[in-house]
Amino acid sequence: MSEVLAYLAPLIHTPIIIAAFAGVCWGIIGGALPGISPSITMALLLPFTYGMHPSAAVVLLASTYFGAEYGGSIPAILIRTPGTNAAAATVIDGYAMKQQGKAGEALGISLYSGLVGGTVGLVMLVLLTEPLSRVALSFRPTSYFALGVLGLSVIGSLAGENLVKGLIAGILGLMIAAVGSDPVTGLNRFTFGSPDLLSGIEPILVLVGLYAVSELLQSPSEPAWEKANAGEARLRMPRWKVWKRIWPAQSIGTVVGTIEGVTPGAGGTIAAFLAYNEARRWSRHKEEFGHGSPEGIAAPEAANCTVSKTAIIPMLSLGIPGSNSTAVLLGGFLIQNLIPGPMLFVQHADIVHHLYLGLGVSIVALWVAGYLFMPPSIWLVNRPKCYLMAFIFALVVSGIYAVETSLFHIGIALGFGVLGFAMRYFKFPFLPMVLGVVLGFMVESNFRRALVLSADDYMTFVQDPISLGLLSVAVLFVAGSWLRHFAAQRKQRTLAKATS
């Protein structure tokens, strides 16, 4: 008993509970606004985490991710517009149920499936993260370099339809990481005589610029979203009959969510659609899918809420973010001078413990806030988009200035916003660039350190078994991406020929 109490004591001594509730509430609101993705919702919070208790900061961001994944289903059901990409699968049956006058029931299924997904995801996070990080405890500079390369090799699966563009974005990220003092000699590189650039470009500026500012630049050209009817949206707990019907779909969602969450580059959107597809395949009521099936909401919602927890596993244990949201979460860790990876469990085991506790609280918070935040979310969705965008713009510039009370930082974030806008226009993915920015220092410093230690023997990278293993996996990742890429191109060409 005393051990349990000692384990739970941080809930009283640290502001974890407040952070979890605040994160979930903010996440629901952000997720409910179409166009504001979970990563943007989290990026907007980043400047506020400076000066926060480290545990509260990471719990706040991780809970926001969880809340946003659920929040995305609210407009998906009510106005047929997914608040997040992952909620796109929920639109199909969610909106059909709303048209049948069952909006409250659909919202209830979404909330309770999210709670199931979040709980299973948290169990998986606790069970899988530490063993994975224990393997990584015996890492040397060669292994860290190989780990960085493995992280970068994920770019292949994140690149979308064009692998070359993904690789280019990754290289640009590495170039951004090279700005500032050289990790070995301390010599200044690409600082253009500016003292503000001596310590490099902080990942937070890249994240806020790419995700939030570029969205603001894009927003005047995008149409306004529909209005929701608040009267239709009284959330109702699913009845026992519905529970009996949706639990297999929820189970499918959690299994798919676990697998997709730990797979870098897969993410909530793929998980949600896969879960939807599998739920339909195994359902006894296949014909109802697409026409308001409760299982069609339960499976994708359970899947994307599971992903919001399991996607943290590779980020926490190896320092490799596999999605936009976990990249922002990684940024939150870096702000607190916490380096995710094996050493985090040695040097800051308390923070990891607090994160687990906070994520546990976030499940309760989602249950409470799911009911309480429905009216404000609908009220916000119904505000004219222009005022919301204006407020978000004000929040971004004020938050960025608050980081180091520097106007230069606002300029840098605006610059990355322009870069993000250009990347959207030229259809370059963001995440490979973020990976380059956060992994660039690790790759370069460990590569050079390993060479110094081995008297410039390049064979050191294959003589270390861990490094060899990680590099082999990285090669397999890249080869797999190339093969998938070529297969997709071939299929596209065959289709084009058949059509012509």
Residue numbers of the site for other proteins (CB under 8 A)? 48, 51, 162, 164-165, 167-168, 171-172, 174-175, 178, 182, 184-187, 189-190, 213, 216-221, 224, 384-387, 389-391, 393-395, 397-398, 401-402, 405, 407, 410-411, 414, 417-418, 421, 425-428, 444, 447-448, 451-452, 456, 493, 496, 499-500
Q: Is 180 helix (H, G, I), strand (E, B) or coil?
A: strand
Q: Which is nearer to other proteins, 463 or 489 (CB)?
A: 489
Residue 284 or 497 with smaller CB distance to other proteins: 497
Per the structure block, which two tokens stand in for 300?
């994708």
Nearer to other proteins, 137 or 224 (CB): 224
Least distance from C-beta 376 to other proteins, angstroms? 15
Residues 340/355, Cβ–Cβ less than 8 Å = no
Question: Least separation, in Å, of the C-beta of 181 and other proteins?
Answer: 9
Please tell me the distance from the alpha carbon of residue 56 to that of residue 53, in angstroms, as a whole number.
Answer: 5
Is residue 211 within 8 Å of residue 203, measured between CB atoms? no
Answer for the pair 219, 32: CB distance below 8 angstroms, yes or no.
no
- Non-local (6+) Cβ contacts of 369 within 8 A are 21, 24, 25, 28, 67
CB-wise, 48 or 247, nearer to other proteins? 48
Length of the chain: 500
**H or E segment to which residue 188 belongs:** strand 188-189
- Minimum CB distance to other proteins smaller for 234 or for 385: 385
State how far the Cα of 138 lies from the Cα of 364, in Å rounded to an integer.
Answer: 37
Closest CA to 353 of 54, 45, 51: 54
Q: Least distance from C-beta 294 to other proteins, angstroms?
A: 38
Helices and strands (DSSP H and E) totals, the chain? 26, 2
Check if the beta carbon of residue 399 is closer than 8 Å to that of residue 44: yes
C-alpha dist (Å) from residue 76 to 39, 84, 362, 368: 18, 9, 22, 20
Q: Please report where in the chains the tokens 């429905």 appear, as a residue.
A: 374
Instruction: Give the nearer residue to other proteins in terms of CB position, either 106 or 442.
Output: 442
Q: How far is the CB of 213 from other proteins (least distance, A)?
A: 8
Task: With residue 181 as reference, give the H or E element that holds it.
Answer: strand 180-181
For 292, which DSSP code?
Answer: -
Residue 7 or 387: which CB sits closer to other proteins?
387
In whole angstroms, the minimum distance from the beta carbon of 188 to other proteins comes to: 9
Of 148 and 321, CB closest to other proteins: 148
CB of 390 to other proteins, least distance (A): 4
> How many angstroms separate the CA atoms of 406 and 194, rounded?
13
Tokens 């937070």 belong to residue? 204
264 within 8 A of 217, measured Cβ to Cβ: no
In the complex, minimum distance from the CB of residue 455 to other proteins, in angstroms, rounded to a whole number = 9
Residue number, 350 or 404, with CB nearest to other proteins? 404
Query: Cα–Cα distance between 215 and 43 in angstroms, integer?
Result: 12
Compute the distance between CA of residue 363 and CA of residue 122 in angstroms, rounded to an integer: 9
Q: Which is nearer to other proteins, 101 or 193 (CB)?
A: 193
DSSP for 412-447, please give it: HHHHHHHHHHHHHHTT--SHHHHHHHHHHHHHHHHH
Q: How far is the CB of 482 from other proteins (least distance, A)?
A: 12
Radius of gyration of the chain (CA): 22
Least CB distance from residue 206 to other proteins, whole Å?
16
**Of residues 371 and 393, the one with the C-beta less far from other proteins:** 393
**Closer residue to other proteins (CB): 202 or 444:** 444
CA distances (Å), origin 140, targets 211, 310, 440, 462, 467: 34, 27, 17, 13, 9
Residue 149 Cβ, how far from other proteins at the closest point, in Å? 13
* Minimal distance, residue 162 CB to other proteins, in Å: 8
**What is the nearest approach in angstroms of other proteins to the Cβ of residue 15?**
14
